[in-house]
Amino acid sequence: MRPSLFAPRFLTRLRATGPQDENPRFEGVLGVSRLFLGATSLIVDLTHPLAPQAYNQLLIFLLLVYCVESLGFLIWLALKPEPGRAFVIIMQVSDVFWPIVFCLFGDPPNSLVFAFFLFALMTTAFRFGMYETALTAVGSVLLLIFQKTIVAYGPKGLSQLLYTLPSVSRLVLRCGFLLMTGFLLGYLAEREKELRAEIAFTNYLLSLARVGSPLSEVVTGISRDLARVFGSESVYVIVAQTSSRRLFRWDIGMSPQSTYELREINTGEYASGMMVDYPDTFYMQRSNIGGVSINAVDDEGRRLGRSELNELQMPVEGTRSVLAVKLDVGREWSGRFVLMNCQLGFNRERELRFAQNALRQLSPALYSIYLFRRLRQRAGAMERARVARELHDTAIQSLISIEMQVDVLRRKTNGVPQAAELERIQQLLREEVLNMRELMLTMRPVEIGPQHFLDFVAQLVERFRSDTGVDARFVSELEEVTLPAVACRELVRVVQEGLVNVRKHSGARSVYIRFGAQNGLWKLVIDDDGRGFGFTGRLTLTELDDLHRGPTVIKERVRAIGGDMVIESSPGHGARLEITVPQKGYGFYG
């Protein structure tokens, strides 16, 4: 196991995952500042020498070369507006090299030459961050110490070539000043870069949460990007409906080609799934010597001490580390993003607060997507219900009226040649009335839960029997069911579609529908004595797809609730549909 101590730098992870915005104008500003510093130092040295006369002529020449080089870099940047990494490295080496050279012929910090050290530290902090700035400061200090050591204890001829004083007190002052300045500039630059990167990354996540996008796709995209920031090997999201305490879990693959799996889990796992006893946001890691270490913050981002964590255990078995962040989506839903086998850097609490703040900003967007989806479904259901009412009040009533008039006319003309034709027209009208009623039932929204499921199916079968004259029966082996509402609606639609197919295509005299439970599965059976399908034997859902057989609508609805289907056909003797749905969960297309 690689320890979190060696986790990639947080700033690097944010930049590598979020959108990158390297503005060439920044390098332009640095180039102009470099030229201004060199020109100013040259003017000062010409009017007020920065070194004794024997050394000042060489110092003026070096400052002139520095100005020419700075002008050349500006011209390079003008010709190539997008600076590459090679340009940045060359500039950085130049900024560190020149202060060391100037220091050989000036006497910092009593000389303006020392300003070049500060400029080198500032450019390093701007380009990179704290670590690089601190290393530049340490490197400059070591070079100063090396220079003073050579002058003080090296060949005596060097003291006549270089102008530098071997004063220990001045050396300590210079080194302390460089180290302090390097640390402060580096820290401030790192924090500023992290804040900009965090804002950019959060905005990128918000751009994924577009209203109208499928909620599952949005959650999947956000989860993958968060997992990449924290180096997670796998991630899942668990959400709970506050009113019913129903639990849903997204298991999300990390590769771009992989998909997600959404399923409902047992409500008895609410406490463990939602990690009720755990802090709002926490990171837990197994140690090499046994046990676990934990870092946590509360809902306001305050650090939680060890005494407040109550000796918590690893919440997910078989993992090295877990990062969990609580998520509140409106008043109806709450949940957690759980990243497994991830890595955090030195400042773990800062990274925890970032994850917490990012998801809090995403929560309103996710809730808007959820509400938009519900409103769109509600609007569609209302429109379908309106059309269904219009069909019932106009088209169906008109067809029934016409069918009655044809029946009266047929009775009056009984025995004449036109009577058979009128009887055929009357039968066609009856068929169209039945078709229209079936369409009307299909269009009406089915808002039923498990407590009404059995009664609704029984009424549906009874209405089919009275409308068609087919001997239809429904038998339930259970007195109550605990199916999710979505599964109830889909199974009702399956029964409706199955009865329509029996009436239109099978020519059956009787149909038998049974619902029960067996081996951890809900089981729905539709059995008729009609013509059957165009094959003999039993075919599973996969085999039906391969052969392009079976009712397409029913197959789609069965898949939508994570179920399976088998069709047993005996041409001329009937067909049997067996549909099974897992009792512990179901999947659906978000």
Model confidence at 5, in pLDDT bands (50, 70, 90)? very low
- The CA-based angle 122-128-134, given to 5 degrees, is 65
**pLDDT attached to residue 24:** 67
Beta strands in 268-332 (DSSP E): 281-286, 292-297, 321-329
**pLDDT attached to residue 511:** 92
What would the pLDDT profile of 311-333 be if each residue is shown by its tens digit? 788 888 888 889 999 988 777 78
What would the pLDDT profile of 375-420 be if each residue is shown by its tens digit? 666 666 566 656 655 555 566 566 666 667 666 666 666 666 666 6
Q: Give bridge partners of residue 236 from the DSSP assignment.
A: 251, 338
**pLDDT attached to residue 386:** 62
Model confidence at 363, in pLDDT bands (50, 70, 90)? confident
What would the pLDDT profile of 526-565 be if each residue is shown by its tens digit? 999 988 888 888 888 888 888 888 888 888 888 878 888 9
**pLDDT attached to residue 447:** 65
| pLDDT, the chain, mean | 79
368: left (phi over 0), alpha (psi -120 to 50) or beta: alpha
- Burial of 348 from C-beta contacts in 10 A (0-12 / 13-18 / 19+): buried
Q: Which of 13-22, 140-149, 155-164, 574-583 has the highest mean pLDDT?
A: 574-583
Contact 121, 181 (CB under 8 A): yes
More confident residue, 353 or 310: 353
Q: What is the DSSP secondary structure assignment for residue 396, as one 8-state letter? A: I
Average pLDDT over residues 7-18: 67
**pLDDT higher than 90, residue 206:** no
**pLDDT attached to residue 526:** 92
Q: Residues of the chain with pLDDT > 90: what percent?
A: 6
Structure pTM? 0.62
**Domains of the chain and CATH, by start:** 8-205 (no CATH), 212-374 (3.30.450.40), 448-590 (3.30.565.10)
**pLDDT attached to residue 3:** 38
More confident residue, 181 or 332: 181
DSSP for 362-374, written as a single string: HHHHHHHHHHHHH
What would the pLDDT profile of 231-264 be if each residue is shown by its tens digit? 888 888 888 877 767 788 888 877 766 677 777 7
